[in-house]
Amino acid sequence: MTPFSAPIAEQIWDMKYRFKAADGTPHDVTVQDTWARIAKSLAVVETDPAAWEPRFAAALSDFRFLPAGRITAGAGTARSVTLFNCFVMGTVPDSMAGIFDMLKEAALTMQQGGGIGYDFSTIRPKGAVVHGVAADASGPLSFMDVWDAMCRTIMSAGSRRGAMMATMRCDHPDVEDFITAKHDAARLRMFNMSVLITDPFMAAVKAGGDWDLVFKGRVYRTLKARDLWDAIMKSTYEVAEPGVIFIDRINAANNLNYCETIAATNPCGEQPLPPYGACLLGSINMARLVTDPFGPDAALDPTALTELVATAVRMMDNVVDASQFPLDAQRAEAQAKRRIGLGVTGLADALLMVGLRYGSEEAAAQTEAWMKAIARAAYLASVDLAKEKGAFPLFDTDAYLASGTMQTMDEDVRDAIRTHGIRNALLTSIAPTGTISLYAGNVSSGIEPVFAYAYTRKVLQKDGTKTEEEVVDYAVQMWRDLKGDAPLPDYFVNAQTLAPLEHVRMQAAAQKWVDSSISKTINCPEDISFDDFKEVYMAAWDQGCKGCTTYRPNAVTGSVLSVSEDKPKEKAAPVQVRTDGETAEVVYMTEPLDRPTELEGATYKLKWHDSEHAIYITVNDLVVGGHRRPFEVFINSKNMEHFAWTVALTRMISAVFRRGGDVTFVVEEMKAVFDPRGGAWVQGKYVPSILAAIGGVIEKHMVATGFLSGEGAGLKSDPQADVVSLGAAPRGKACGSCGSYDLRMVEGCMTCGSCGFSKCG
């Protein structure tokens, strides 16, 4: 018998979390071996490891406690990776030397697998005087471009590109440029971006007052606060960025506001952190703790919850001592405060099991009660650890209990902290759990609603054959197992059918008992009016949220996996999901396109600065439905030094092109390649490597043939739909890992429902 309840769960484990030797030989033969590896690694720091190792393994069993991916994949492997998920880097100095010192630290952190956040508000605005060099400052956006380029070259932990968060205060003189920076489709693609919103700014927005843009005491410009707020809203309405972070609220509630000031978060926003702050993550699987699911006595088991939370807190506290850190400053910060981020996943499934409709007032009240139970159990468990191992080094009883979060805590918990101290300064956070939720049997992710009840996934096997498998939400599968073919009750709702304000209600209910923050996406319909869209953000402010992230499908952001109320037509969109539990087909391109006898193409000459001979690049196109799309590439040169890699490059690019679909990522990846020996200026533009130059030529050809709408822009049409002859509506980009068109915005991060890949972890 396998503990995996779905094939996709076992595939996720094998791809992402199973410990293997360099040659691919598994060290973890079964998932129980993975649990045992983690338990042993985290028990080592205990005085009596033999006593705690089986208790840790029991918490992990049946996917009840889910440490975040970096812990699951890295603990006990002796690899040089950090087990921490989230970092905010040091304060960026307003000097050239200091800025590039920070860049180096960022590279070292991402190399070990950490997602990072930066506040760029500390850099002087564009046009400000730079004393001593007779020049004007280029502004923080120009340095963000440097960070973005660096991030493209770092493969985080050897498996995914690094993820970054950039923040800027709402009173910085360059904030308007910051808000619109990602309207350029080729710019700052490695960043998530959020504006730091202050209490005085929100007061000015509500009062219709003026707002000063200031740097180091100098007022650069004054504008209407509502105009700036509307600019933020218009940008996120159109391109889904920037998000907003209510920074004063975060600092007021912070248990540590007596010894730190927060100005940035990790990439998904659930961890506001001080300079060099770090946090590790883990989630309680709520779906596994419901007794009598869908029955008359359905309820979350309070005893099991309390015991599991206590064990999870101890395990996560041990990670602080067991983990490596990219920088000494990060280690010192983590050990001084011992911050952890215990959260939940499977919340929506648990609500379904007890008969509650996600988004309803009753579901919000139940969510608040469950989160309070978790917070109480976590804080009391940390007090017990303080009795045994000591409080965190910077603990100050009176200052700690005076924080906004602690003032709302139950008096018995406050008394316990007052008497014994507490081991961990902050304990709760709700992180993105897209991948570990799939690994746990496709439970609903974090506190998000169920995205889709079921869909069919086509899987390309190693021998080239294709199989189909149904991917079913955990609660829906349980309903089927218990109720057979009985139709799903009316309270089964999903992310697309919920009103945006119902999303806000659930986020606000959970936030009351989360001492850090929450990663959540508020899905908005494409046809939502701008005024209604703005109301979502104002409701998030009014109801006590610490931030807000929305996603509205449109021509810029792209469509994602869609949900249809009706039966699919004969030529339905390739990605369709039914709300009644039935499934429609997901179509992926897996067979290469056939090559006709003749192709249209063009040849381009590229002269590189350090090469005696020119390189000739030929791109041939296939004509499908009257449109040209790239089919193959040939690269030739008399310089034999380039022979091997040009042949390899030719074959690889051509193989990708022949698979069809959105292949524009080839250009993006090639243009991002940097040569450490230096690049060259080509037609007035700096090109970082010869490979980047070749990528630029291919992009130029794609634009000329109408495949791309412009340099750095997206597809002019959807060639995949033409190839499979399904008349599909635009679906956005394909997954960069598996190529499927199953991308969805989950907890502020674009995530693939087929393979679990996401930029954010």
Active-site positions read 266, 268, 270
Instruction: Name the strands in the sheet holding 615-624, side by side, starting at the edge strand that comes first in the sequence.
Output: 600-606, 615-624, 627-637
Alpha-carbon torsion angle 717, 719, 724, 729, nearest 10: -20
CA distance 312 to 293: 24
What tokens were used for 316?
């996560």
Question: From the CB of residue 570, how many other CB atoms can be counted at a distance below 10 Å?
Answer: 5
Residue pair 584/569 in contact (Cβ under 8 Å)? The answer is no
Q: Which of 739, 247, 208, 710 is nearest to 459 (CA)?
A: 739
- CA 601 from centre of chain: 39
For residues 4 and 18, what is the distance between their CA atoms, to the nearest angstrom? 14
Residues 6+ apart with CB under 8 A from 26: 18, 19, 20
Residue 5 · residue 441 · CB < 8 Å: yes
Instruction: Look at strands 135-136 and 129-130 and give their pairing.
Output: antiparallel
Of 84, 89, 85, residue with least CA distance to 107: 89
**Measured between alpha carbons, how far is 367 from 347 in angstroms, rounded to an integer?**
8
Two tokens, residue 323: 């983990």
Report the distance separating Cα 761 and Cα 73, nearest Å.
12
**Cβ 578 vs Cβ 584: under 8 Å:** yes
For the chain, what is the radius of gyration of the CA atoms? 26
Query: Is residue 713 within 8 Å of residue 542, measured between CB atoms?
Result: no
Q: Residues 594, 595, 600, 606: is their CA dihedral positive or negative?
A: positive
Helix 302-322, helix 31-43: angle, nearest 10: 70
**Is the backbone peptide bond immediately before 242 cis, with ω within 30 degrees of 0?**
yes
Tokens linked to 423: 């081991």
Helix residue ranges per DSSP H, 396-450:
397-401, 404-407, 411-420, 434-439
- Of 130, 210, 228, 230, nearest to 174 (Cα)? 228
Distance of CA 744 to the CA centre of its chain: 11
CA 292 to chain centre: 34
Distance CA 385, CA 380 (A): 9
